Structure formats: structure tokens, C-alpha cells
Amino acid sequence: MAPTLAVINNITNPASDFSDFVLTKGHGVKGLSETGIETLPKQYIQPLEERLCMTKIIPENAIPIIDLSDPNTTGVADTICNAAERWGFFQIVNHGVPLQVLENAKEATRRFFRLPAQEKNKYSKDNSPSNTVRYGTSFSPQAEKALEWKDYLSLFYVSDDEASALWPAACRDGLLEYMRKSEAVVKQLLKVLMEKLNVTEIDKSKEDLLMGSRRININYYPICPNPELTVGVGRHSDVSTLTILLQDDIGGLYVRDLQDNSWIHVPPVEGSIVINVGDALQIMSNGRYKSVEHRVVANRSKNRISVPIFVNPRPHDIIGPLPEVLASGEQPIYKRVLYSDYVKHFFRKSHDGKGTVDYAKI
Ligand code: OGA
Ligand code: NI
């Protein structure tokens, strides 16, 4: 049963009771939302500059939607590379991942978040049997001045056997299937993007560098009493090579338009997958492909879910501008950094827009 309002109103020490309910007991913002609260707790109130002001949104702008039904058609490769340079974001349709697989992944996500807090909390930082499986709320509650209106489960993929043993049964199969079935399109996109950088052959070591590790997250953004005062996810860019994101039909993801700094909505498109360039690819391409800032707004009337897969280098890989990119004499703008150090740097701070990539700037 959902906890009642009394649970969080009948309090002697508001700050510690809040923290106990949301963080320690694992009710998360979903639990908070389901108590029926009518005003946003102060912990979620974001500074003015972090809220999304609707006048900064240009509604007629849109990221490209690319049809991959015949990827060898002239122009498709160029469209992909241009989108990665100009927008850093695009949607793909007819991508070969069966629609039923997408539906199953979303249903797996809903099934996990429907579990009682006590069950989900078995995977929290303090309780999880493995650091490859982590249930949590907000982004990094210890580092953040204001919290984000989001709960998540984050799963670092090691092997099918490890996933069978450790991932929650409620969502394991649907998510594994989605990961497996989306691998081909990820490879196809990377091949196209690499060709434009004069990387004509992706051998095993290059493949490992580009996509040697993967993390799948499931996100839950519950109904929020004051969405205008908070964020679902604050401004950030991903630390991945590529992120492939499945969203439901609610909407709320916004991306920065590099040309005028405005924000563009990424509308839900039935059957589509959202693709974005992450920092690792921006660095490897020496800035040619753009890892663009994005954010999620909270919603007053609907719960939203999303399922990003972060396709990453391996933690022990050194990332830097690719030799093929620098072969013609282009000056590197990024240095070579250990990928796990880069990721640590990302998690040490709250979401801060494009701040992470400075870590690798020369
Ligand atoms: C992320 C992210 C967007 C979304 O998890 O990095 O940007 O729509 N998510 O949930
Ligand atoms: Ni992101």
C-alpha cells in the first residue's frame, strides 16, 4: 500500500524524516508523489537559472528523424553524420529493433518501479549485492544542492550470467533482450560515424574502445506538484560514446540547440529510438561530433519512464582524439584521459551542463 500523507507530515524533524523516507527507506520520489503531496518539498527547489524557462523553447525547431529502413540508400550516412555534428541528437525509425522488444523493455521498467519500496531498496547503494546494480533517486544526492525529481535503476552489463544472477527478476529479461536486439543498430551507426572520421575498419580493439562496456538505466519521473520549480534531470551531457534512449509517449526531454542556445523538445515518436553523441565520442572525434546538453522537465499530471543504454568505452580504456582524425595535421583539442577517471569526475559533481568535458580539454 502507498504510504499516506501522514507518514511524511507527521514529523518531528522534517529534514531527517524526509531523507529517511525518500533515500534510506527507498520510497524515492515515486513514493513521495504517491502520498499525494500538493507542494514540492524544498529539497527539490532548483535555483532559478536551472529551471527551464518556456520562453527559451523554440517550438518549431526539431532534431532530425532518420529512417534506417534502407541504410545503404544514398544520403543516409551523410544525414547521420550531419546530425551528429549539427545537433548531437537524432531519432531513428525502422531501425530493426522489433517494436515488441521496445514495448517489453518499457513494461519491464514499469514492473520494476511498481515493486514495493522495500523490494527496490534491496538494490540501493547500501544494500545492493553488487556495485553493478544500483537503485537510487535524483542523480547524486550527496553532491547535489537541490535534488532531481527522478528515481532510477542503473545496471552495468558484465555478462548474461552475471545479469541472470544479479539483476532484479522484475525487469531483467525485457532489458537484456532490448540490449541484445539493439546492438546491431549501434554497430551500424558507429560504423557510419567512424567512416566520416577516416576510420575505415573497426577492428576488435577499436570496437572495444567505442563500445566495450554498456550500462542500461531505467528512469521513473513521477507526477510532480510543482514541475516549474524543479527538474526531472538537470542540464548535462552524457559521458558515453553513444546513448540510445527509449522513451514513452509523455515527452519532457529537451536538448540544447547549439546554434542559438535555445531548447528543443524531443517529441515521442511511436517506435523510434533517440540517439545522442556522448562526451567520449566528442573527445574521440576531436570535437567534430557534439555531445549536447539535455535535460528532462517534470510533469504535473503524468508519470514518465525512459530507458537509456549508455554505450561506453571500458573503464580502463584511454580515450583521446583518434589518430585517424589527427592524421591530416589537425591539432588535438583534448588530451588522453583514463575513461574511469573521466566518469568519476562526472559523478563527483551535480549535473552542470557541459562542465565534464573541460576535464579533458588541453
Ligand atoms: C539520462 C538522460 C533523458 C530522459 O539518463 O542521461 O538524459 O529522457 N535521460 O530520461
Ligand atoms: Ni543524458
Tell me the pLDDT tens digit for each residue of 165-189. 999 999 999 999 999 999 999 999 9
Rounded CA-CA distance 138/147 in Å is: 6
226 phi-psi bin (left φ>0, alpha ψ -120 to 50, beta other) = beta
pLDDT of residue 13: 59
Residue 346 amino acid letter: F
- Helix then strand then coil, in percent of the chain rounded to 5, is 35, 20, 45
What b/e sequence results for 295-324 when a residue is b if at least 16 CB atoms lie within 10 Å of its CB, and e otherwise? bbbbbeeebbbbbbbbbbbeeebebbbbee
- Mutation test residue for ligand 1: of 109, 151, 217, 233, the one with most atoms within 8 Å of CB: 233
**Alpha-carbon distances of 206 from 243, 309, 323, 331, 344, rounded to whole Å:** 18, 19, 11, 21, 23
Give this prediction's pTM: 0.94
Tell me the pLDDT tens digit for each residue of 111-135. 999 999 999 999 999 999 899 999 9
pLDDT of residue 242: 98
Rounded CA-CA distance 71/108 in Å is: 30
Q: Using the structure block, give the residue that is written with the C-alpha cell 507527521.
A: 10
pLDDT of residue 10: 47
Please give the distance of CA 70 from its chain centroid, rounded to a whole number. Answer: 28
pLDDT of residue 11: 47
Regions of the chain short of the pLDDT cut 70 = 1-15, 54-55
Rounded CA-CA distance 332/329 in Å is: 9
Rounded CA-CA distance 286/283 in Å is: 5
Q: Using the structure block, give the residue that is written with the C-alpha cell 511498481.
A: 114
Rounded CA-CA distance 138/140 in Å is: 6
E strands present in 229-347: 233-236, 242-247, 253-256, 263-265, 273-277, 294-296, 304-312, 318-319, 337-338
Tell me the pLDDT tens digit for each residue of 282-335. 999 999 999 999 999 999 999 999 999 999 999 999 999 999 999 989 999 999
Q: Using the structure block, give the residue that is written with the C-alpha cell 522488444.
A: 101
- Mutation test residue for ligand 1: of 231, 294, 304, 352, the one with most atoms within 8 Å of CB: 294
- Mutation test residue for ligand 1: of 134, 253, 343, the one with most atoms within 8 Å of CB: 253
- Distance from the alpha carbon of residue 50 to the mean position of ligand 2, in angstroms: 16
**Alpha-carbon distances of 238 from 4, 42, 103, rounded to whole Å:** 36, 27, 24
pLDDT of residue 139: 78
The residue whose C-alpha atom lies closest to atom 10 belonging to ligand 1 is 306
pLDDT of residue 15: 67
CA 217 to ligand 1: nearest atom: 5
Which residues contact ligand 1 via a Cβ below 6 A?
217, 219, 233, 238, 245, 247, 253, 294, 296, 306, 308
CA 221 to ligand 1: nearest atom: 10
